[in-house]
């Protein structure tokens, strides 16, 4: 290859590697774009973002392919053009890679498709606009158009002879590359953690699922692919980044790719050693004992701290600290740390954590006895503090309806039918229910701050009477647009009374709330609701009724309104039944429509997943077990299909909402 302008020698195998990488990028980009164009079923928003990433990668691959076989003279039109295209496309690919990860994080973990879709425009502005602005500025200031083979083969980039070359190298690619290294693993770790929770939630139901084996294998495969995404990205970009770092440190290894690899392996070895704690209770990364001894040996041989740091790949400040420690204490071992040691050994911590994970109903006394048999004497308070450090705390067990296998299968069937229903359908449902409010009953949880032995002080107690001191029965309805009517049921409700309530109190709130044509009415499976006469009456009135799964009394989103109403009523402390009714009506009228809509939106996002595994609120279960045999899934975006987190109701099938009555946790 002829050298025209101080050209850095490029090995033949480097050219082969670059061309092979470019060929794979072109092939992958063409496949993604062609499948998106040919098959409408694959035109989802994440795949659309993947298409834009493929466009950026395709431009980058073409530019690199052109540059790897050409020897450019500095600041010529072809060198500047190739450098500008490479800079723009390369930087844009970083932004699009992060954009896809951000979209999937919001879509899966935050369960908000609307928010994720609203960010697409901003993704375009940032992923195309920022690289374009940087490239135009660099070309205008004549910063692009010089050989950059010491950093990346086949790229006319920034001149390393300029004083501000580091700044422009960072702006035109490296700073965004380093940020992607950090952001991608963090987001995908959070996504995987969310999926793992769903796997754990689904485990107790897998034995009764018809698609048990298939769903588990497909979801596990998608889970593994999520792991590969950041690994592949970092692996493909790492070579260029290492050479850039070596360039900044003025290392001769940057000019020899073989030395680059050896230098990188040595750096990894040093890093892995520095992350090996010498004590099981170490809380910070520290050097291995061998490395510390080498530092002392080199110091005794007359080497300076700077030389030792460069030779071993350790910071100068760390080298100095180890030398000072050796001079003072004549040892490089870890010194005893301040503070009392933990009573329970790390092995004991693992034992009690494993015990409560297997059996959450294990008492602190049981754990104290287990440790005592193992030779460790501790108190219950020590058990509590140890488990809290492990992220475990004692809470009151939630009471939920018993779900038999037949109920779970029915819920899974409902989830299959409504995975792709539009979100607007949820906003077109009027939800209804009855509730009982007691005069002096436990309508809401009350906590007080008190001193020891002051639990019976009148300020710290809630007066109670037998049977709650009387109660009233209420019927109410609401939609995502606001509350409907609230009616007191003064007698024992039967089918005739229920029909009368609906005839007088259902259509007026529907008109007041401006429900769309074809709105849907929901009520539960109470016998008076499902009686033949009631169904016939609803049919004659042309009401569309939302079917309701069995054993689902706590899934109606109106339960949140009942809870809010009971809290407000309890705060006003009514003294008789008449006052109780008046306060209920007043507080119901004060419920804000906007707040109800926002609360309802959260319920609509994960309603079908509560159907599948209500006790654990696993938002991914429907995709994991209901869509595992979907023939439309693609290998490159199977993790996206697996993690689909939005499902909505349909007017001719069952649907419920994730709106628990009381989500608070009571610590022991």
Q: Which residue range(s) make up the domain with 179? A: 12-248
**Does residue 379 fall inside a structural domain?**
no
3-state secondary structure of 488: strand
Burial environment of residue 287 by CB neighbours within 10 A (0 to 12, 13 to 18, 19 or more): buried
Same domain, 97 and 230: yes
The total domain count for the chain is 2
What is the DSSP code string of 263-318?
HHHHHHHHHHHHTS-SSTT--S----HHHHHHHHHHHHTT--HHHHHHHHT--HHH
Interatomic CA distance for residues 655 and 548, integer angstroms: 6
Same domain, 190 and 70: yes
Interatomic CA distance for residues 281 and 541, integer angstroms: 71
**Rounded alpha-carbon distances, angstroms, from residue 440 to 121, 229, 386, 464:** 54, 57, 39, 6
CB-based contacts of 13, cutoff 8 Å, min separation 6? none
**Does residue 288 fall inside a structural domain?**
yes
**Does residue 164 fall inside a structural domain?**
yes
* CATH number (domain holding residue 280): 1.10.10
pLDDT at 224: 61
Token digits of residue 192: 């995987």
What does the CA dihedral 230, 235, 241, 242 come to, rounded to 10 degrees? 130
Same domain, 119 and 162: yes
3-state secondary structure of 227: helix
**Does residue 19 fall inside a structural domain?**
yes
Range with lowest mean pLDDT among 69-78, 91-100, 121-130, 606-615: 606-615
Question: Is 625's pLDDT higher than 80?
Answer: no
With a pLDDT cut of 90, the percent of the chain lying above it is 9
Same domain, 29 and 112: yes
Tell me the pairing of strands 156-158 and 482-489: unpaired
pLDDT at 632: 37
The model carries a pTM of: 0.41
Q: What are phi and psi of 488, to 5 degrees?
A: -85, 130
Same domain, 232 and 271: no
Res. 582 pLDDT band, cuts 50 70 90: very high
Same domain, 280 and 201: no
Out of 281, 312, 329, a domain closes at 329
With a pLDDT cut of 70, the percent of the chain lying above it is 63
**Does residue 635 fall inside a structural domain?**
no
Question: Is 266's pLDDT higher than 90?
Answer: no
Half-sphere exposure of residue 648, counting CA atoms within 13 Å on the CB side? 16
What is the DSSP-derived secondary structure letter of residue 666? -
* CATH number (domain holding residue 222): 1.20.1070.10
In this structure, are residues 58 and 25 in contact, taking their beta carbons and an 8 Å threshold? yes
At 387-439, the pLDDT tens digits run: 988 888 887 776 667 777 777 777 777 666 766 667 777 788 898 999 998 88
Instruction: Choose among 177, 140, 174, 138: nearest CA to 159.
Output: 138
The residue that leads in pLDDT, 337 or 622, is 337
What is the DSSP code string of 187-214?
HHHHHHHHHHHHHHHHHTTGGG-TTHHH
Interatomic CA distance for residues 87 and 91, integer angstroms: 6
The CA-CA-CA angle for residues 261, 264, 266, to 5°, reads: 110
Out of 278, 295, 329, a domain closes at 329
Same domain, 213 and 67: yes
Interatomic CA distance for residues 583 and 575, integer angstroms: 11
**Does residue 281 fall inside a structural domain?**
yes
Burial environment of residue 644 by CB neighbours within 10 A (0 to 12, 13 to 18, 19 or more): buried
Out of 329, 356, 375, a domain closes at 329
Same domain, 39 and 75: yes
pLDDT at 80: 79
Same domain, 192 and 310: no
- Residue 469, Ramachandran bin (φ over 0: left; ψ between -120 and 50: alpha; else beta): left
Mean confidence (pLDDT) of the chain: 72
Instruction: Choose among 46, 43, 144: nearest CA to 91.
Output: 144
At 539-556, the pLDDT tens digits run: 998 899 988 777 766 667
**Does residue 21 fall inside a structural domain?**
yes
Same domain, 277 and 220: no
Same domain, 282 and 244: no
pLDDT at 218: 52
Mean pLDDT within 615-623: 37
Res. 59 pLDDT band, cuts 50 70 90: confident
**Does residue 241 fall inside a structural domain?**
yes
Sign of the alpha-carbon torsion through 322, 325, 331, 332? negative
Interatomic CA distance for residues 86 and 27, integer angstroms: 18
Same domain, 108 and 159: yes
CB-based contacts of 152, cutoff 8 Å, min separation 6? 240, 243
At 293-326, the pLDDT tens digits run: 889 989 988 888 888 988 888 888 889 889 988 8
């Amino acid at each position: 290859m002829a050298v025209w302008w101080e050209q850095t020698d490029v090995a033949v195998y480097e050219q082969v590697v670059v061309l092979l990488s470019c060929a794979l990028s072109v092939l992958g980009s063409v496949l993604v774009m062609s499948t998106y164009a040919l098959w409408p079923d694959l035109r989802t928003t994440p795949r659309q973002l993947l298409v834009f990433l493929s466009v950026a990668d395709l431009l980058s691959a073409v530019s690199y392919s052109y540059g790897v076989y050409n020897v450019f003279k500095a600041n010529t039109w072809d060198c500047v053009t190739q450098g500008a295209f490479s800079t723009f496309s390369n930087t844009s690919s970083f932004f699009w890679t992060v954009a896809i990860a951000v979209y999937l994080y919001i879509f899966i973990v935050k369960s908000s498709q609307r928010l994720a879709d609203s960010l697409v425009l901003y993704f375009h502005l940032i992923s195309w606009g920022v690289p374009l602005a940087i490239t135009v500025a660099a070309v205008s200031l004549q910063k692009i158009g010089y050989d950059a083979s010491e950093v990346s083969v086949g790229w006319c980039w920034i001149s390393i002879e300029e004083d501000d070359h580091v700044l422009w190298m960072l702006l035109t690619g490296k700073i965004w590359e380093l940020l992607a290294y950090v952001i991608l693993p963090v987001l995908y770790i959070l996504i995987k953690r969310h999926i793992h929770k769903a796997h754990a939630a689904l485990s107790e139901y897998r034995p009764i699922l018809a698609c048990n084996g298939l769903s588990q294998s497909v979801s596990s495969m998608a889970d593994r692919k999520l792991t590969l995404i950041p690994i592949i990205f970092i692996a493909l970009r790492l070579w260029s980044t290492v050479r850039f770092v070596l360039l900044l440190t003025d290392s001769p290894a940057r000019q020899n790719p073989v030395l680059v690899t050896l230098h990188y392996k040595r750096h990894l070895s040093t890093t892995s050693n520095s992350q090996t704690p010498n004590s099981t209770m170490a809380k910070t990364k520290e050097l291995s004992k061998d490395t510390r001894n080498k530092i002392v040996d080199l110091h005794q041989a007359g080497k300076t701290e700077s030389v030792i740091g460069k030779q071993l790949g350790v910071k100068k400040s760390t080298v100095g600290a180890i030398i000072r420690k050796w001079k003072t204490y004549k040892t490089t071992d870890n010194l005893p740390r301040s503070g009392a040691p933990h009573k329970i050994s790390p092995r004991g911590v693992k034992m009690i954590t494993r015990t409560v994970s297997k059996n959450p109903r294990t008492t602190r006394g049981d754990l104290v006895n287990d440790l005592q048999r193992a030779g460790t004497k501790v108190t219950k308070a020590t058990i509590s503090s140890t488990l809290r450090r492990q992220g475990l705390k004692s809470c009151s067990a939630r009471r939920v309806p018993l779900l038999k296998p037949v109920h779970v299968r029915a819920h899974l069937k409902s989830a299959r039918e409504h995975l792709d229903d539009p979100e607007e359908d949820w906003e077109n449902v009027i939800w209804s229910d009855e509730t009982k409010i007691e005069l002096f009953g436990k309508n809401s949880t009350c906590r007080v701050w008190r001193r020891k032995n002051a639990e019976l002080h009148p300020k710290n107690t809630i007066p109670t009477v037998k049977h709650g001191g009387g109660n009233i029965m209420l019927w109410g309805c609401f939609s995502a647009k606001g509350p409907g009517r609230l009616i007191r049921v003064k007698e024992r409700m039967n089918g005739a009374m229920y029909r009368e309530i609906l005839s007088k109190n259902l259509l007026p709130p529907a008109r007041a709330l401006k429900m769309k044509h074809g709105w849907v009415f929901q009520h539960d499976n109470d016998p008076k609701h499902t009686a033949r006469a009631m169904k016939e009456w609803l049919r004659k009135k042309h009401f569309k009724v939302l079917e309701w799964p069995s054993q689902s009394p706590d899934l109606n989103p109106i339960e949140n309104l009942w809870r809010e109403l009971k809290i407000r009523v309890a705060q006003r402390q009514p003294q008789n039944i008449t006052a109780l009714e008046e306060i209920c009506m007043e507080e119901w009228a004060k419920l804000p429509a906007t707040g109800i809509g926002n609360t309802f939106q959260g319920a609509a996002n994960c309603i079908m997943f509560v159907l599948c595994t209500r006790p654990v609120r696993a938002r991914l279960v429907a995709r994991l077990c209901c869509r595992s045999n979907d023939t439309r899934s693609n290998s490159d975006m199977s993790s996206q299909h697996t993690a689909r987190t939005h499902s909505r109701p349909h007017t001719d099938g069952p649907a419920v909402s994730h709106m628990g009555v009381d989500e608070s946790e009571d610590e022991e």
